[in-house]
Amino acid sequence: MDKNQTIILGGGCFWCTEAAFLRVPGVLSVKPGYAGGSKPNSTYEEVCAGDTGHAEVVKVEFDPAVVPLEKILELFFLIHDPTSLNRQGNDVGTQYRSIILYSTDEQKEFIMRYVEQIKNNYQKPLVTEVKKNDVFYEAEEYHHNYFARNLDKAYCQVVIAPKVKKIEEILENY
């Protein structure tokens, strides 16, 4: 694979996932949005209400020559709890579920093998949903780069900053 790839990941609040993946060398762009559900053109309010079936996700475009899909998945599983059903910390609801949306059959096969390899690393069963991405709805502009634009907000300090610190520490060891 010598061209850029895209994968959609949901591991709780998309502000956290976006902030973490923006720090990864080889990641070219990270866009927050909604996917995995059935309601077209969903908004943040609708997704938060829980009736769309969508999860808060990020669309990650990356250069596999710099950061292979395996590293993307490794980081994804390290920055959220893939054994927690429909919740990450205090964020509760199906919109916060653990989900990977692949774009090619090759990605699907790789992801399924990867999940099979790591599942025994956890004391509880993995609940991460893996499915083909049908559609991605980009989040409203005020969600983009939320952490960097709202460092003084309590949620950013208490919830996002520790995840950012964790990924920065992990990246130092790569």
- Confidence at residue 173, expressed as pLDDT on a 0 to 100 scale: 81
Share of the chain above pLDDT 90, in %: 94
The residue annotated as part of the active site, out of 13, 16, 48, 156, is 13
3-state secondary structure 101-159: EECCHHHHHHHHHHHHHHHHHCCCCCCCEEEECCCEEECCHHHCCHHHHCCCCHHHHHH
The model carries a pTM of 0.94
- Confidence at residue 113, expressed as pLDDT on a 0 to 100 scale: 98
- DSSP assignment letter at 93: S
13 among known catalytic residues: yes
- Confidence at residue 2, expressed as pLDDT on a 0 to 100 scale: 55
Domains of the chain (ranges, CATH numbers): 5-172 (3.30.1060.10)
Q: Report the sign of the C-alpha dihedral through residues 10, 12, 15, 19, in that order.
A: negative
Pair of tokens at residue 116: 């099979």
- Confidence at residue 1, expressed as pLDDT on a 0 to 100 scale: 44
Residue range 152-168: average pLDDT? 94
